A and B are shown apart, each in its own frame.
Chain A
C-alpha cells in the first residue's frame, strides 16, 4: 500500500510495518518545515487508524535523515505568539509520535540534527548507520536557541544529564559509535544490516534504553542543583550570559522542571520562542545564512582537484598541506630542509590523531601527505599553492622556475598576505593564472580563505580557486588585491589602537577584557602575541605605506628586544607554554572609560572604508568575512550589521568625539554617509 504525499512516502510491508520515508520536495536536505509537519500530522492520524505493527521513520534522501527545523521560517517571525505557535507545532508532531502504541523507530543515516534528532528522540528506538557520514546532535545552541521540539524533556532521562546537557550546551555532533556508547541510539549497524535490524527491533521490541548505574541519579531533584552549578560555571567561561542567554536558560529549565515533563514541555516552548525573537538568535541565524552564502560562492563541481602541491613548509605552508591531506587530497609539500618537513609531519600526526582517532584513518591521511624535498610534485599537481616567505623577488623567481612545469590548467595560487598580486604576476608569461588563496592561522580552525583577485586575474581562475576552497571544506571569500585584503586590513587599526592604549599605560589585560566583553573571542593584545609581533609589525608596516596608518613605536621596541609573542615566550605578556601570565592590575586602578570604543570604532571605521573601496562585493560578504576571518562577535551579526543595528548616527557621533580627543586616525570614512 502506498499513499501519495508531497514530502513523505509510506510503505506498508507484509508484516504490517509502516516504513515512513521523509523526502522533502524541492530541497537538498530534509527539514521540518510547516508543510512537512502538517503532512506528518495527517499521516500519523491515518496510521493510528490503520493499527500497524510498528512505524519506522527513515529518509528518502541519500545525504541524511533530517537536518532540523526550517530556519528560513524563523526569519519573518515578529510576534511572540507566532514564534510560540511554530514551536508548538513541532512539539505536537513529536508528542503524537511518542503517543503511538506500537513500537516506533528512527532509522538514521547521514545527518540527524536539531528538530530531526528530536523527532528521533520521540521514537521508542533509534538505529543509525555506523558509516563515517552519520552525525547526530542538537546544535540549536549555535543559533542562540536551545532544543524546542521536546528535546530538552526527552534527552536527559534517556542518556542521563551529563551526556544530555553536554550535547545540548555545546551543540557538538557525534558519530554513530559515540551515540551508541552514550545511549543516544540503540544500535549502530552497517548499512548491510540496516533494515534487518529495524525489522528485528519492531517485531521483537526490547526494553527501551535507560541510563545505567550512577547516571540514573543525575536527573534527581537533589542532585540537579549541584550539577547545574558546575554546568553554569563551565558555560559562563565560553558563553557569558549577557551575550549568549540560551545555554543558561537551558540549564535553568532542566534544573527547575525535570521532574514534570508536561510543564517542562510548555516551558521549553516558551523559552525557545522568546529566544527565537531575540537579538542573539537573529544575528546567529544571520551568520548561519552568511555561511551558506560563502559556501555557495564555491561551485565544487567546476573542478575535481586530487593532488595539491604546497611550496614552503613553514607554519602556513605546512598547515595548509596538512589540512588538504586531512580533507582527502593527495599532497606534496615542498621544502629544501628536511628539518622543516619533519616538523610538518609531526604536526600532521598530532592533528590527525586528534581529528581522526582511528589508526587506520590516521595512516591513510599521513600516506596522502608526502614531504617533497626535491619538488617533484609541482608537475603533477592540480593545485599549486606557494607559501614561501614574503619576498617579492624570491616569489617571482619561484614562479619563473615552475610555470613551465605546471600541468596545463593547474591552479596556481599564492598565500601571500601582503604583496600585491599584480607585482607577483609580472614574473609569469600568463599573469592571469595567478590567484591568491589566503589562509589564516591556525589553518585547521580558521574556516575562511580569502580568494584574492588582482586586475589581471582571470575571473574563471578565481572561481576555480573558490571551488577548491569548498573541496577542502573552507569558506571562500572573494576579495580584491588591495593591501591587507579584508581580514588583516580591518584587524590592523584595531590591534594598533590596542598597542597604543598599552603604551599609554593601560594594562594589557584591561584592554583585552574590554574586547572580550564586547564579544571578541580573544583580546587584541593576546591576538597580537599569538600571531607574532614581528609578523604584526611587518603587516602593519606594509599597510602603513599604502594606507594612512601610523605604527606605534612600542611595537618596534618589543620586536627589537626579541619579544615576539607566544613563540618567543614573551611579548606583551609573558608565556608559560601558550598560556599568558596575567599580571595583577593594581587595586584601585580606574581604566579610561573609552577603551572599548577606541578599539571597536577603529575596527568599524576600517570596515566601512573596505566597503567603500569595494574590497569585497557587498556589506553581507564583508560581515561574513570579518566574522569567519577574525571571530568578530558573531552574536552581533558582523561590523556593518552592528553599525546599523546600534545606530549609524550614534556610532558616528562617538567617532567624532574620539577624533577630537585623539586626532585624525578617528576621522569617519566617507562610507558612513552611505550606511
Chain B
C-alpha cells in the first residue's frame, strides 16, 4: 500500500543546508539553468564545512525537468561542485516531491550504514523547461536528413506543414496528469468542490502567505538563502515572487486560470512557477564525530502514499497519517508544520480532511478525525504561493526551513509534507537538535 521508514536503523543527522532565492519565471528563460542554481546553493554550503567535497559518500539530487545538457543532473552538479570523480551521484524524480525523495534516499543510505556523509536536495529551473518538437516535425526532419539530392530535398520541403511547427510546451504537459487528463489546477478545483472551499478562503490564505513571507524577509528569518549572481552583473538575494502590495480586492479581480470561467483557482492563490535549488548535508553519527559537525536536527521518519490522481492535493494527509500512527503522535505533539502550498485550496483541503470524520474513516481508515492543525504553526514564513514552487526543489526547502523554524523557536518536532502530481503524498518527520 505505501512505503514508510521509521528510523530503526542508525540516527540520521541534518548538518546544514542552503538554498538559492526562488526566482519567479517571467515568461522567458531565467538567468540560471538548473545546474547553475544547484551549484550556487551547494558550493556556498560546502565551502563552510570542515570537510572537503571529495569526502562526501554520494550526492543525490531531485529534479523533474533537467536541461538538455543535464542528464543525471546529480552527477553534473557533483562534478561542478568539485566533489571529484570518485563521489557517486544520482538523480531522483518523484514529481513535486523530488527534493524530498532525494533526502529520503540519503536518509535510507545513512540509516542502513551504507553512507555517512551525503549531499542531497532538489533543483528546478522551470523557466528553462524544454519546448519540444511534435512527432510530425520529428518525422519530417528524419525525411529531410535522408534526402540527399536537390530534388529529394525539394520534395521533402513540399511536405512540410505549418502545424508541424506547433511546439510542445514541456512545462504545461508536465503540470497535466496524463492518466486522468486534468491539469494540477483542476485537481485543486476538485478539492475546493469536495470540501466546499470558497474563493475568499483561498485568496485569504494566499494573502496571509505573502504577509508571512514579507515579515520573514524583514526580520531576517531566511538565513538559508545564498545570493546568486548572473553574467550581466545582477544579483538575487531574496525570493522575488513576494507581493507586498496585494490585498483581497486585487486578488478577487484575478480570473480563474484552469477552469474558465467558473473556477476559483487563480494565479494569485496558486504556487508560482519559479527557479530554485535547496541542498542539505545529511550525516551519520560517525561523520558528525569525525568532523565535529554542528547538528541542525534529525530525520525521524518518512512516508510515501498514493491516492486518486484527481485528488492529488490531499497527498499530505495520506502520507502524514501513517507517520502519526507509527510514532504515536497527536496533532498537538507536532510543534511546527510545513505543507507545501501547491494551491491554497489544496492546503486548506488537507486541513479540512483531517478534521472530517467521514474522510478520515473512509479514506484513511481511522475511527476518529485526526484533528485540527493550528494555522499559526503551519508554513509560518510563507510557502509556495508567496515564494514559489520550483517543483524539484520544494521538498528539500520545506525540510530545511522547518528545521530552521524549530531551532529558532526552541521547538522539538516538525512535520514536512507535499502533494505530488499523479496522486501521491510524501511526508517527513524531523526533530531538532542532536538527540
Question: Interface of A with B (CB < 8 Å)?
Answer: 330, 332, 338-339, 341-343, 345-346, 349, 363-364, 367-368, 370-374, 376-377, 380
Encoded as 1 (CB less than 8 Å from any A CB) or 0, chain B from 228 to 243 comes to 0111111101000000
Q: Are A364 and B80 interface neighbours, CB within 8 A?
A: yes
Chain A residues with Cβ under 8 A from B80's Cβ?
363-364, 367
Binds A, one of B39-47, B371-379, B407-415: B39-47
Q: Are A343 and B48 interface neighbours, CB within 8 A?
A: no
Encoded as 1 (CB less than 8 Å from any A CB) or 0, chain B from 205 to 244 comes to 0000000000000000000000101111111010000000
Q: Is B81 an interface position by the 8 A CB rule? A: yes
Q: Are B227 and A338 interface neighbours, CB within 8 A?
A: yes
Knowing A332-B47, A371-B227, say if A346 contacts B232 (CB, 8 Å): yes
Q: Are A346 and B231 interface neighbours, CB within 8 A?
A: yes
Say how far B219's CB is from chain A's closest CB, in angstroms: 19
Closest residue of chain B to A342 (Cβ to Cβ) is B235
Cα A194 to Cα B233 in complex, Å, equals 43
Chain A residues with Cβ under 8 A from B44's Cβ?
370, 372, 376
Q: Are B227 and A345 interface neighbours, CB within 8 A?
A: no
Q: Are A373 and B227 interface neighbours, CB within 8 A?
A: yes
Say how far B256's CB is from chain A's closest CB, in angstroms: 39
Say how far A457's CB is from chain B's closest CB, in angstroms: 29
Question: Interface of B with A (CB < 8 Å)?
Answer: 39, 43-44, 47-48, 80-82, 227, 229-235, 237
> What are 21 inter-chain pairs, A to B, with CB distance below 8 A?
A330-B82, A338-B229, A339-B235, A341-B235, A342-B230, A342-B234, A342-B235, A345-B230, A345-B231, A364-B80, A367-B39, A367-B43, A367-B81, A367-B82, A370-B43, A370-B47, A371-B227, A372-B44, A373-B227, A374-B48, A376-B47
Chain A binding surface, main DSSP class: helix
Closest residue of chain A to B53 (Cβ to Cβ) is A330
Cα A371 to Cα B233 in complex, Å, equals 12
Chain B residues with Cβ under 8 A from A330's Cβ?
82
Say how far A604's CB is from chain B's closest CB, in angstroms: 43
Cα A370 to Cα B228 in complex, Å, equals 10
Q: Which of B43, B48, B81, B229 contacts A345 (CB 8 A)?
A: B229
Q: Which of A338, A341, A377 contacts B47 (CB 8 A)?
A: A377
- Ranked nearest first, the 5 interchain pairs of A and B with the lowest CB-CB distance are A346-B233, A376-B48, A342-B235, A345-B229, A349-B231
Closest residue of chain B to A381 (Cβ to Cβ) is B47
Cα A370 to Cα B232 in complex, Å, equals 16
Chain B residues with Cβ under 8 A from A364's Cβ?
80
Q: Which of A363, A371, A377, A380 contacts B229 (CB 8 A)?
A: A371
Q: Are A342 and B48 interface neighbours, CB within 8 A?
A: no
Q: Which of B43, B47, B233 contacts A342 (CB 8 A)?
A: B233
Most buried by A among B39, B81, B235: B235
Say how far B359's CB is from chain A's closest CB, in angstroms: 47
Closest residue of chain B to A359 (Cβ to Cβ) is B69
Say how far B322's CB is from chain A's closest CB, in angstroms: 40
Cα A34 to Cα B234 in complex, Å, equals 58
Say how far B300's CB is from chain A's closest CB, in angstroms: 29
Chain B residues with Cβ under 8 A from A370's Cβ?
43-44, 47
Cα A374 to Cα B226 in complex, Å, equals 10
Closest residue of chain B to A370 (Cβ to Cβ) is B43
Most buried by A among B81, B229, B234: B229
Cα A363 to Cα B231 in complex, Å, equals 11
Closest residue of chain B to A353 (Cβ to Cβ) is B231
Say how far A369's CB is from chain B's closest CB, in angstroms: 10
Chain B residues with Cβ under 8 A from A368's Cβ?
82
Cα A34 to Cα B235 in complex, Å, equals 60
Chain B residues with Cβ under 8 A from A341's Cβ?
227, 229, 235
Cα A349 to Cα B227 in complex, Å, equals 17
Say how far B50's CB is from chain A's closest CB, in angstroms: 8
Cα A408 to Cα B344 in complex, Å, equals 53
10 new A-B contacts at CB < 8 Å, known A338-B227, A345-B229: A338-B235, A341-B227, A341-B229, A342-B233, A342-B234, A343-B233, A363-B80, A364-B80, A367-B81, A376-B44
Say how far B35's CB is from chain A's closest CB, in angstroms: 8
Cα A343 to Cα B231 in complex, Å, equals 9
Cα A346 to Cα B233 in complex, Å, equals 5
Closest residue of chain A to B43 (Cβ to Cβ) is A370
Chain A residues with Cβ under 8 A from B82's Cβ?
330, 367-368
Chain B residues with Cβ under 8 A from A376's Cβ?
44, 47-48
Q: Are B47 and A372 interface neighbours, CB within 8 A?
A: yes
Most buried by B among A368, A371, A373, A374: A371
Cα A376 to Cα B45 in complex, Å, equals 10
Chain B residues with Cβ under 8 A from A349's Cβ?
231
Cα A343 to Cα B237 in complex, Å, equals 15
Chain B residues with Cβ under 8 A from A380's Cβ?
47
Chain A residues with Cβ under 8 A from B232's Cβ?
346
Cα A374 to Cα B227 in complex, Å, equals 11
Cα A372 to Cα B278 in complex, Å, equals 18
